[in-house]
Structure 1
Amino acid sequence: MIHELRIYQVAAGRMADMDVMMSRDCTPVFQRYRMPRPLGAWSASAGPRLPAYIWMLAWPSLEERNKGWAAFGADAEWQQIRRKAHEKSELTVRVDTQFMVAWPQFTPADGADLSPKGAVTDLWLMRVHTGLGGPARKCFLETDRRILEALGARVEAAFDLLSGEELPVIACIVRWPDAARRGEILQQYDAHRDVRAAREAEHAALGCDVFTSCDRYAMNAASPFGT
């Protein structure tokens, strides 16, 4: 199983158009080629490149993924949808596509919905020092996940990125009780003595910081596909 993460930086003022195109217009074409229903689709309200539309797919293999997208891209209906979407102005500024493998502890179940209506969710892209992927996973599971969940958040899924400009990177989906609690929990997590102690211990043992930086996208569920 391989997971595909797609992050679209949407042109200013075009997020509503993007949401309609993805959730309504593209659905029949996806279904025609038996492409998997997205595990999640979100619009980001905070993060490094905004506005952003983010979605995730699970494929049986890279070969199946390539076949599906090739058929989709050649479809006449999709080509018409794309031309219409870009008639007045470009819909997207940038598209980042990344492949990921899920951690055994956090593999989304078949048919999982990571973006239920009303949910407040983050995508974290945690950059890891070269060669320290194993220690980073251990640190996250033993410290970061434990503290986040003790404070009231929940780690829904976690992945190692297989592609991208900066590797290694850990991607995780974090669910918050609500928008107000998100800010409170993040503040408590960032200042938590156990998190700080873990970072200091990692640096002392390894001679460097395990996590070098982290992009956090604050996300709300986009319209479900097929609406």
Structure 2
Amino acid sequence: MFYEFRTYTCAPGKLPAALKRFETVTLGLFDKHRIQRITPVFTVAVGDDNTQLKYVLQWQSHEERDRAWAAFRADPEWQKALADTDKDGPLVQKISNELLAAAPFSLK
């Protein structure tokens, strides 16, 4: 098992719209494609970049992750939502992710 820490850096002024898309479209598609989010969706309350949203996913294998993300990206509902919400310019400027392994002592 491993974890995926994802950070979305939004275009200036676009964080509220990105959060709305996440709430109204993305989370439902995560359920549909069995993408397991194990944390809340976070925004930066205090820090250097308050244009970011962050969350952590949990995966059983890299194959599971690859299949789920491919299905998510190809989903017509996602394609439509992305086109609709990005019509005046992309909401998200950068997506970064880190694949993390839990330190053995922390799994107790």
> Normalising by structure 1, what TM-score?
0.44
Change (3 A) 1:50 1:65: same
The letter of the residue matching 2:24 is R
> Normalising by structure 2, what TM-score?
0.88
- Segments of 5+ residues of structure 2 without an aligned counterpart are none
In the aligned structure 2, how far is the partner of 1:67 from the partner of 1:7? 20
Larger Rg: 1 or 2?
Answer: 1
**Match in the other structure for 1:29:** 29
The letter of the residue matching 1:77 is E
**Match in the other structure for 2:88:** 88
In the aligned structure 2, how far is the partner of 1:56 from the partner of 1:40? 8
SS in 1 for 2:36: coil
* Number of equivalenced pairs: 108
Give percent identity, aligned residues only.
26
**Match in the other structure for 1:11:** 11
In the aligned structure 2, how far is the partner of 1:89 from the partner of 1:38? 30
Give RMSD over aligned pairs. 1.8
- Segments of 5+ residues of structure 1 without an aligned counterpart are 110-227
In the aligned structure 1, how far is the partner of 2:13 from the partner of 2:49? 14
The letter of the residue matching 1:56 is V
In the aligned structure 2, how far is the partner of 1:38 from the partner of 1:23? 15
Runs of 4+ in structure 1 over 2 Å off: 37-40, 45-50, 104-107
